[in-house]
Structure formats: C-alpha cells, structure tokens
Amino acid sequence: MQNQPQTLEWKQLADLPDVEGFAGSYAGVSNGALIVCGGANFPEKPLWEGGPKRWTDRVYVMPEPGDGWRDATPLPKPMGYGATASLPQGMMLIGGCNAEGTYADCYLLTYADGDVACRAVAPLPVPLTGHTAAVMGGKVYVQGGSLRPGEQDAESRLWVYDPAADTWSEGPALPGRGRFLQQMATIGHTIYVLGGIGLKEGDDGKMQRDMLTEAWSYSAETGWRRLAHLPHFCAAAPTPAPVIGGKIYLLGGDDATVKGFTPLNHPGFHNQSLCYNPATNTWADAGTIAAARAVLPCVFWRGMAVIVNGEQRPGKRSNQVWGARM
C-alpha cells in the first residue's frame, strides 16, 4: 500500500435519543440540517436472549452541530437497511425493508420550520435492501442489494434516478459479482463500488456468504472499470463512503476476521480504516477510527463525515454519532 493518508480528527456529536441506537438507519442533509431516521434494533431484550428485531419510523433532526436532536414527524412506515442520497431538493430515502418484507418505496425528506416533511417520489423499479447509493451529476445511482431480506440473493444491477423528471432508468450492470452491504462513493463524474458481500451455494445446497475484495469504478465516458482489489475484505462500513482530500475512506465495517463467536461473546468489529487513492489506483491503511461500527450510514455535513449509530457487534447497536475531518 502506498501514499499514506492524513490522519482523521474525530469529534463526538450528541447521542441519538434512543438508549439502544439503530443499525441500518438512513441519514442525509436538507436545508443545512442533519436528518436521521429509520433502522432497527432489539429494544425488548438482546438478540442472544431471543429478543425480536424491531424497525422504527422515528425521524430525528439536528439543525446545527452544537444542537441536540429533535423529534420530527415520523416516516410513513417503519423501514431500514435501504440507501440515502442528499440532493439539493432534500434527503432521498431509497428502498429498504422491515418485518413484512422488502420495499421499492422512495421518499424525499425536507427540513423547514423545525420539522421534516416527507413525500413519496417514484419508487425503485424493483424492491431492494442492503443496496448502496451515490450522487453523480445531480442524479442518484443505486447499485446492488437484495430483492428479498435474509441474504437470499445479490444483485449486480445499476439503477439511475433523475430528480428533475422523477423517473428511474436502468444503467449497465456491474460486470462483477452481485453484492450487498458494499461501499459506494463519488469523485467528480465517477462512482465507485467497493467490497461487499456476494452469495454462493455451499456444499449443503444453501446460500452462504462470499466475501468480496473487488473494487470498481463507473462513468458514462469509460463504463465499468476494475480497480485494484481491497487489501482485505470490507463490508457494511459507513456509506456513501466519505471523500476527503480527493481520496475515499472506508471507516471500519466488517473485515470478516472475527469468526467463531456468538453474538453474546463477539468482541466487536475492527476499528481500522482504509483509504483509496484514485490518482494512483492504490490502497493505504488510514489508521484507527473513533468508533468501530458496521451497517450504518455516512453523510458529509458541515465539513465532517458523520457516521450514525450502527452495530458494535451482531445484535448490539450504538446510539453514538461521530464526525471525522482532516
């Protein structure tokens, strides 16, 4: 690995006002305010004690970095494990799932006068969960994900949303494996799809995880291009992955090194980060991070890459919110 990146400085923001916190939330920006909503946790008793997973429809807003969180009007239904895109028009919530199944529903959330309004926009052409999104040229690009919850399938398709027309179209599919819980980022007129989880059939005939280190870029001019492989597997890191100083940062996530543990005695996810330099097509170790988390959103807000809640270990959430900058 080459071109060592600068160390990020971390600042803790106000905890989300839920004692458990959430994984699979949505996070974005509208009119200068940070919005967090949806996701799931185990509020009644822990996963390892048989606690049921519960999805939330709660919406929280933080107008300024020094403010606490305020409750806003809830989502139309509990949802999580979808994707988010921050647009000039507002924060776009894209697909996801809950206990009843997977959804194609999309919403635009806008902050004004102390509350968050939510209106439906064109739904995805297919229901998706575990997918990722990035904004390029004013349009939203959605890649991968699963049509059904429970890691039964993995998509390689690319969907493109045009906010001006409120329509979706299908772009060229990623040439590599179908995947979910991958990371995605944008630099200029290029999007990047990094790592994630594929599926393969095991000896018992059941689908099992296939940990991917593939990295790809896409632009209208070049199409899909294969990039240097990640130095190690990474999935479920904060996404869209932040771009700082022209480089892409993968902040923690699951590197698949922790094996053989139950949710009760799992030691937690690794607190290392990776940095990709597109100018040299190389990866570098980006050092330790303040909060080792997986399955969580990231949004660039007020000069910070803000990561929200996420899993500390399987079944155990965090309600912390952190911001990183150079």
The residue ranges of every structural domain in the chain are 25-325
What is the pLDDT confidence band of residue 7, given thresholds at 50, 70 and 90? confident
120 contacts 126 by C-beta, under 8 angstroms: no
Predicted structure pTM score: 0.95
What is the pLDDT confidence band of residue 298, given thresholds at 50, 70 and 90? very high
Range in 118-122, 256-260, 272-276, 300-304 with the lowest mean pLDDT: 256-260
Q: Which pair of tokens denotes residue 206?
A: 């059941």
What is the pLDDT confidence band of residue 2, given thresholds at 50, 70 and 90? very low
∠ Cα 69 17 82 (to 5°): 85
Task: Please give the C-alpha separations between residue 253 and each of 16, 23, 114, 220, 250, in angstroms, as whole numbers.
Answer: 20, 12, 33, 29, 8
Contacts of 129 (CB under 8 A, 6+ apart): 81, 82, 95, 96, 97, 102, 103, 145, 146, 148, 149, 180
Straight-line distance from the first to the last Cα atom of the chain, in angstroms, rounded to the nearest whole number: 20
| Topology at the third CATH level for domain 25-325 | Neuraminidase (2.120.10)
Q: Which pair of tokens denotes residue 62?
A: 């933080």
19 contacts 317 by C-beta, under 8 angstroms: no
Q: If you average pLDDT over residues 54-61, what whole number do you get?
A: 98
DSSP state for residue 66 in the 8-state scheme: T
Q: Which long-range contacts (CB under 8 A, 24 or more apart) does 221-226 make?
A: 221/189, 222/190, 223/172, 224/172, 224/174, 224/175, 226/175, 226/176
Taking the CA of residue 155 as centre, how many other CA atoms within 13 Å lie in the half-sphere pointing to its CB?
Answer: 22
Helix (H) or strand (E) holding 239: none
Query: Is the confidence at residue 13, as pLDDT, over 60?
Result: yes
Range in 39-43, 154-158, 199-203, 227-231 with the lowest mean pLDDT: 199-203
Q: If you average pLDDT over residues 268-276, what whole number do you get?
A: 87
- Taking alpha carbons only, the member of 67, 99, 63 closest to residue 81 is 99
Q: What share of the chain is helix, strand, coil (3-state, %, to 5)?
A: 0, 50, 50
